[in-house]
Amino acid sequence: EKHSFKHFMLKEIHEQPGVVRDCLQAYINSNWDGEFEAQTPDELHPISVDINQSPIELGLSDELLENLEQVQILACGTSWHASLVGKYLLEQLADLPTTVQYASEARYAPSPLRPNTLTIGVTQSGETADTLAALSMEQQRRLNAPKQFKPRLLGITNRPESSLGQLVPNLINTRAGIEIGVAATKTFTAQVIAFYLLAIDLAWRRKTLPNSRVQELIKGLRKLPSQIELILNTQGTKIEEFSHQFTDTRDFIFLGRGINFPIALEGALKLKEISYIHAEGYPAGEMKHGPIALLDKEVPVVAIAMPGSVYEKVISNAQEARARDAHLIGVTAKETLEESDVFDEILPVPFVDELLSPILAVIPLQLLAYYIAARRGLDVDQPRNLAKSVTVE
């Protein structure tokens, strides 16, 4: 049922605060919601938090997660984008070298086997043929290899009852509820949340983060649902009106850096799959190595400029685009509105820890894609040539 929403996609975009809330509720140990008291500048000591208990309860065994040396992730489409955010988190929080491969590529060029590797298959439907085949190939070649290469398989899915659930013994259920729109929205956010939880769990097990940082991240995660709500409530109508000017646009460029580079890819994919406008996502720093040649006043550029380590860099990349007369749209935190002289338009999101920013940055991009496609009168929920799950190679 769409209720008052015109399309399932819009309904599912609006379900995201609830999905994130539910996922956090299910997997965060409420014991870690207590208070810490500062004792030294570097480390905070717990008063009511029992740091001997894991902050995250994903139900994953020690056998699966102990002594890991690397992580390899296999996925397609939007799940591949969520996996790129996951790579950033696993490397930065849990100090684990991580590769992310398209499942369709990995099948025909598998990476050399390394011991103590966690293999993660990410698929919301649990039915994507390439992802299933790449995972089962990985399982087979590891079963045939010496003991230290034994398969350690984990699935991240929205459908534990799917074929993935039959294949893989360990699962994280993203609990987003059934998604009907072909464009993945709430299942993407839920996958990214699953990666935050996994990365924090691994960081705690491997002692790669101070407990105070773990708690800070948990507090930040807990704020996300109301921050997403704020974007939906205050920006929806604005983005709808703003989208009208792009109904005849032919090309879009999305730029992001660091943890928000995958969000640039995701913003571009959402736009192209439902509006049929050509869109490219690029790491902002790579623009000058080619795509800058595309820019003129006909090509809008969306730059994701969230406060943090690469903020100034993105702003200066955006200025390069501006100098080529591009129509410049910034996704940035409300608190940095002085950037309005860089951007022609701003899609503001609340200020947030850089590490958590992808979850907020993606929301205006989903709305932008949705409203442009809806305005063009397209079948948003069932775009041409696409199926909800791709069960053929």
Q: Please calculate the CA angle 346-192-334 and round it to the nearest 5 degrees.
A: 20
The reply to whether 366 sits near ligand M6R by the rule CB under 6 A is no
Nearer to ligand M6R, 176 or 182 (CB): 182
CA-CA distance, 108 to 150, in Å (whole number)? 21
The reply to whether 131 sits near ligand M6R by the rule CB under 6 A is yes
The reply to whether 184 sits near ligand M6R by the rule CB under 6 A is yes
Q: What's the length of the chain?
A: 393
Q: Please calculate the CA angle 64-149-159 and round it to the nearest 5 degrees.
A: 45
The reply to whether 225 sits near ligand M6R by the rule CB under 6 A is no
Nearer to ligand M6R, 276 or 351 (CB): 276
**Site size for ligand M6R, by CB under 6 A?**
16
Residue 178 Cβ vs ligand M6R, minimum distance, rounded to whole Å: 12
Piece of the chain touching ligand M6R by CB under 6 A; list 48-56, 71-79, 307-315, 335-343: 71-79
The reply to whether 78 sits near ligand M6R by the rule CB under 6 A is yes
Residue 170 Cβ vs ligand M6R, minimum distance, rounded to whole Å: 17
Residue choice 46, 55, 77, 86 for contact with ligand M6R (CB under 6 A):
77
Piece of the chain touching ligand M6R by CB under 6 A; list 58-66, 104-112, 182-190, 373-381: 182-190
The reply to whether 98 sits near ligand M6R by the rule CB under 6 A is no
DSSP-assigned beta bridge partners for residue 283: 256
* Cβ–Cβ under 8 Å, residues 157 and 235: no
Show the DSSP H helices in 323-383 as ranges: 357-375
Piece of the chain touching ligand M6R by CB under 6 A; list 5-13, 44-52, 179-187, 218-226: 179-187
Piece of the chain touching ligand M6R by CB under 6 A; list 122-130, 135-143, 247-255, 277-285: 122-130
Query: How buried is residue 354: exposed, middle or buried, by Cβ count under 10 Å (0-12/13-18/19+)?
Result: middle
Nearer to ligand M6R, 17 or 77 (CB): 77
Q: Which residues contact 171 (CB under 8 A, 6 or more apart)?
A: 154, 155, 156, 157, 160, 164, 165
Q: Please calculate the CA angle 205-206-207 and round it to the nearest 5 degrees.
A: 95
Give Cα 194 distance to the centre of its chain: 10
- Beta-strand pair 44-46/36-38: antiparallel
Residue choice 137, 230, 378, 390 for contact with ligand M6R (CB under 6 A):
390
Q: Amino acid identity of 330? A: G
Residue 183 Cβ vs ligand M6R, minimum distance, rounded to whole Å: 4
Residue 305, SS3 per DSSP: strand
Nearer to ligand M6R, 130 or 201 (CB): 130
The reply to whether 389 sits near ligand M6R by the rule CB under 6 A is yes
DSSP-assigned beta bridge partners for residue 71: 98, 118
Residue 75 Cβ vs ligand M6R, minimum distance, rounded to whole Å: 7
The reply to whether 72 sits near ligand M6R by the rule CB under 6 A is no
The reply to whether 16 sits near ligand M6R by the rule CB under 6 A is no
**How many CB atoms within 10 Å of residue 71?**
25
Q: Amino acid identity of 205? A: R
Residue choice 72, 101, 119, 123 for contact with ligand M6R (CB under 6 A):
123
Nearest to 268 by CA among 280, 284, 258: 280
The residue assigned the tokens 């684990």 is 96
Nearest to 211 by CA among 383, 385, 42: 42
Q: From residue 231 to residue 270, what is the string marking binding to ligand M6R with x (rule CB under 6 A)?
A: --------------------------------------x-
Nearer to ligand M6R, 76 or 349 (CB): 76
Give the C-alpha distances (Å, rounded to integers) separating 294 from 263, 268, 285, 290, 319.
21, 15, 15, 8, 15
The reply to whether 171 sits near ligand M6R by the rule CB under 6 A is no
The reply to whether 182 sits near ligand M6R by the rule CB under 6 A is yes
Site residues (CB under 6 A) for ligand M6R?
Answer: 76-79, 123-125, 128, 131, 182-184, 269, 273, 389-390
